[in-house]
Structure 1
Amino acid sequence: MDLRARPYRSVLYIPGSRDRALDKARDLPVDAIIFDLEDAVAADEKVNARALLATRLAEGGYGGRAQIVRINGMDTPWGADDLDAIAAIGPEAILLPKVGSVEDVAAVAARLDAIPAARATRLWAMMETPAGILNAAAIARAPRMAGFVMGTNDLAKELGSRTRAAMHTALQHCLLAARAAGIVCVDGVYNAFKDEEGLAAECAEGRDFGFDGKTLIHPAQVAIANAAFAPSPEEIALARRQIAAYEEAKAQGQGVAVVDGKIVENLHVDTARATLAKADAIAEGEAA
């Protein structure tokens, strides 16, 4: 199964305790939603948020958006109950916070194995600790693993980093691990949600690194992320010309083509076809 076949341009956090936000999320033009029971919910609201979110997820109405639930850590008073309550609904994916090792994931996967409703539920990992970054390659191949979310705020705190640039090694290390395992990898949040120029710049950097999309903290950030991580009209047009030129070259018994003065080989055609497939998936999602 190609875990990256669907778009993940915009991945919006929604607090599980805010009923109005849970309702509004049904109409937002996002590719994925992280329903959050961890950082976005105060300790005295954890139990109520869990019940509310379970009810809303059971009601449905979120369309084709990827639905991911971030539970509290299994070492907290709420983690085990979060897992059991959410898994009973059979969600698409459960996001584990502060994953440090493959054993962290395997323990949760084993628990899901005993819940019939969660047979198809995948696991995602927050990559936000030094141990998690160093163990990324093993975590990416853990049971049920389907995606990484970069937790840049927690990672900066743990590393003592003052800039995003100081975390580039960690970001690229996790991306390498995700690509080697064939799973999704989305970039961390941009905290200044009113700074559109800064967000656009960070989205462009994440896209150029190779991330599938960006996690977001406010609906106002969605349009910028969607635009940044979608193929541009120019990229789509180039992809079509590359494919056509290469097919024509093959028909003439040649192994390469030339487009705009640049060599086009089969690896470039693979990239071009992936670009068109992503554009088609985005168009289908928007139409739905």
Structure 2
Amino acid sequence: MAPVVDPRGRPLRSVLYIPGSKERALEKARDLAADAIIFDLEDAVAAEEKENARAMLAQALAAGGYGSRLKIVRINGFDTRWGRDDAAAFARAAADAILVPKVGTPADLDAVAALVPDLPLWAMMETPAGILNAASIALHPRLQGMVMGTNDLAKDLSARVQPGRAELITGLQLCLLAARSRGLAIVDGVFNAFKDEAGLAVECEQGRNMGFDGKTLIHPAQIETANRVFAPSEAEVDLARRQIAAFDAATSAGQGVAVVDGRIVENLHVATAREVLARAEAIAATAQ
């Protein structure tokens, strides 16, 4: 089973976009229950505010106060006049990673890596080229995670996305396969109707069932639902513990399999069970 937390052991159930140009939002984010924050300098910031946002965000990150939340800065693309300055400004900032927009090939990551020598990179997977090149992008040595940009992908596909997202499933799965083949973190795209809690829960369940580590969010009101859906339930934790105990007992008795609730338990099931418990423990640690 693929990892369910990022490479440094942090949960990624809820990944909230925060505009780098909004001082109040930057302040409020220090007290939110999101597992990670994407500080956005790209889509959420108007052209005339780009440089002010860069300075404001740098000051906010230097001030700290974001606790254990993973701090990711989404810079502007290098095809804009702001991208290279963004990368240079945050190359050694108090962030955990740089998120590169509209990654189409590994060369897009190379260009940023040259200006950001120390921080891990994340890739926005949001273009047809990026989806088709997901496997080669995942091979990049500096890449730590992928973020699905489902709105941009739908736009480029001219897709009319319906509940269930059948129109995007191929793209989502290709990126999941690429990320998991390299042990990378990967989070699902946003759910736009931020007042539709039931709809959000359904889409979170879909993403969790597919294998995503968590979901990107556009509003703080979405955090609780994402945190709940992407966390192991009490029943899942209980089952994991019983599977491990039963398999250990079977092994001690010289048997290679155990039976729990009428189902066979083998090595692979125990590995999954241990990951469920590790995830639950990581989530509990963030709440302390």
TM-score tier by shorter-chain length is over 0.9
Structure-to-structure mapping, 1:1-288, within 5 angstroms: 3=7, 5-113=9-117, 119=118, 121-163=119-161, 164-287=165-288
Give me the whole-angstrom Cα distance separating, in 1, the residues matched to 2:59 and 2:285.
28
- Looking at structure 2, the residues matched to 274 and 76 of structure 1 have their Cα atoms a distance apart, in angstroms, of 41
What code does the residue aligned with 1:50 have?
R
Supply the AA of the counterpart residue of 1:217.
I
**Cα distance, 1:228 vs. partner?**
0.4
The 8 Å contact of residues 10 and 222 in structure 1, kept in 2 or not, is answered as yes
| Amino acid aligned to 2:129 | A
Provide the rounded CA distance (Å) in 2 between the counterparts of 1:73 and 1:143.
20
Aligned residues: 281
Q: Counterparts of 2:70 and 2:59 in 1: how far apart (Å)?
A: 18
Q: Deviations over 1:28-65 (max 9, x none)?
A: 00100000000000000000000000000011110000
Contact 1:96 1:126 (C-alpha < 8 Å) held by counterparts: yes
Report the secondary structure of 1:231's partner residue: coil
* TM-score, with length taken from structure 1: 0.96
Counterpart of 2:256 in structure 1: which amino acid?
G
Between the aligned partners of 2:107 and 2:194, the Cα distance in structure 1 is 35
**Distance in 1 separating the partners of 2:225 and 2:94:** 31
Greater shift in the superposed pair: 158-167 or 251-260 = 158-167
For residue 144 of structure 1, report the CA deviation from its aligned partner: 1.0
Q: Deviations over 1:219-277 (max 9, x none)?
A: 00000000000000000000000000000000000000000000000100000000000
Confirm or deny: 8 A CA contact 1:4 1:183 kept in the other structure: no
Q: CA deviation at 1:90?
A: 4.9
CA distance in 1 between partners of 2:116 and 2:73 (Å): 14
Equivalent residue, structure 2, for 1:116 = none
Deviation at 1:161, TM superposition (A): 1.2
Most deviating of 84-93 and 165-174: 84-93
Q: Aligned equivalents of 2:281 and 2:207: distance in 1? A: 22
The share of aligned pairs that are identical, in percent, is: 67
Deviation digits for residues 149-195 of structure 1, max 9, x if unmatched? 00000000001111221110000000000000110000000000000
Of Structure 1 and Structure 2, the greater helix share is in 1
Instruction: Provide the C-alpha distance between the structure 2 equivalents of 1:192 and 1:77, rounded to a whole number of angstroms.
Output: 32
CA distance in 1, matches of 2:32, 2:92: 26
* More moved, 135-144 vs 165-174: 135-144
State the Cα distance separating 1:110 from its structure 2 match: 2.0
Q: Which runs of 5+ in 1 are unaligned?
A: 114-118
The residue identity in structure 2 corresponding to 1:144 is R
User: 2: distance between equivalents of 1:88 and 1:150?
Assistant: 25
* 2:246/2:259 contact within 8 Å kept: yes
Q: Note the alpha carbon deviations across 1:53-109, whole angstroms, 9 max, x for none.
A: 000001111000000000000110100111111113152100000000001101211
Q: Which amino acid aligns with 1:78?
A: W
What SS does structure 1 have at the residue aligned with 2:9? coil
CA distance, structure 2, for counterparts of residue 225 and residue 204 of structure 1? 9
Structure 1 pair 4/179, CA: closer, same or farther in 2 (3 Å)?
A: farther
Q: Is the 8 A contact 1:105 1:143 kept in 2?
A: no
SS in 1 for 2:154: helix
- Aligned AA for 1:32? A
Q: Contact 1:193 / 1:218 at 8 angstroms: preserved in 2? A: yes
Unpaired runs of 5+ residues, structure 2, are none
Q: Partner amino acid for 1:111?
A: L
